[in-house]
Amino acid sequence: MIWRKFNGEHIRIPIKDEVREAIVRETNKGFRLKVCIGTDSQVKGAETEFATVIVFLREGHGGFMFIHNEKTRKQFSIKERMLVEVAKSIEIAYELCDLFTEYDVDMEVHADINTNPHFKSNEALREAMGYILGMGFAFKAKPEAFASSSCANKVVN
């Protein structure tokens, strides 16, 4: 899995090691961190591209993120695609959650799913919420889910 920084620089070590280094570096500078993980996708013709982000918020001092993009030619219904987005976020959250516990960093999983029942993505809300909460993670949906609806949305080509 290839990850990069927002400036395009590739991360050359395992993402878990990079996240640990970021947590240590930022907490040594005196920042209180919060991490939000989210995934967004776009369909372009026969391809669907997913972007997963790990967003680090420095309390009162901005933030930074790590990004992973992935393309597939598999076709999805909207509900299926929303649940794949959530699964991708949970996969990385699960891989990193012991670090967040070890360093006392709050973490949320953000789902790009609208809480308004008039939107098609809302069909996946109940399952996504159950999946995320069932894994023991804090959950945010639109409009609070900025990691997926803003950050990942900006980096999905």
User: Residue 38 is part of which domain span?
Assistant: 3-155
Domain count, the chain: 1
- 1 exposure class (CB count in 10 Å sphere: 0-12, 13-18, 19+): exposed
Q: Using alpha carbons, select from 5, 84, 9 the residue that is nearest to residue 40.
A: 84
- Owner of token pair 């999983």: 109
The pLDDT value recorded for residue 157 is 67
Per-position pLDDT tens, the chain of length 157: 899 999 999 999 999 999 999 999 999 999 999 999 999 999 999 999 999 999 999 999 999 999 999 999 999 998 899 999 999 999 999 999 999 999 999 999 999 888 888 887 788 888 899 999 999 999 999 889 999 888 887 887 6
The domain that holds 130 is classified in CATH as 3.30.420
